[in-house]
Amino acid sequence: MTIRLPLVHRDRAGLAALLAIAACCSPKPTPYVADVDATAIVKQSTSDAFTAFLDRSADADALRAFDAGIAAAHDRNQLTSAWRRVPSLAAKGSDFLEQHVFAVAAREHRWPKDAPAAALEQAFVDGVRAGAAAFLEGH
């Protein structure tokens, strides 16, 4: 005896087989994992602070002067001194970096509070440089 499936059932069976094959071929998803360290955190808070308070065009020369001034910086004090040496940046607040960059970064969830002080100072310097560059490039 031949059992004749209605057309729709045969189509469903064929589709089910196709989908079963397709399911076997589907790759297992790999999660996206954010790459965040102390330097990335400082870079972000620097870029955010400049985005909120500075004008990318009007303050570009001042930021370049600041960038040149921190070429040999090793810690936050030297970053702050360089900031204060640029008059138009100093006018935005002599404690601008402390208030809007360093303190904000140090409160973040992934801030490595227990890291050696020298490593953190280096992260502040590298992060501020990278954040200033990112801001000037429009990121």
Residue closer to another protein, measured from CB, 5 or 68: 5
Residue span binding another protein (CB under 8 A) among the ranges 51-59, 62-70, 71-79, 81-89:
51-59
* Helix-helix angle 60-69:117-136, to 10 degrees: 150
Q: How crowded is the C-beta side of 13, counted as CA atoms within 13 Å?
A: 7
Q: Is 91 in the site for another protein (CB under 8 A)?
A: no
Phi, psi (deg, nearest 5) at residue 52? -75, -35
Residue from 5, 10, 17, 18 in contact with another protein (CB under 8 A): 18
User: Which residue of 5, 15, 60, 118 would you call a contact of another protein, by CB under 8 A?
Assistant: 15
Of 98, 60, 106, 103, give the one whose Cα is nearest residue 81. 98
Residue 139 interacting with another protein (CB under 8 A): yes
Contacts of 134 (CB under 8 A, 6+ apart): 43, 46, 47
Q: Does 22 bind another protein (CB under 8 A)?
A: yes
128, 46 contact by CB (below 8 A): yes
Residues making contact with another protein (CB under 8 A)? 12, 15-16, 18-19, 21-23, 25-36, 40-41, 44-45, 48-49, 51-53, 100, 104, 107-110, 138-139
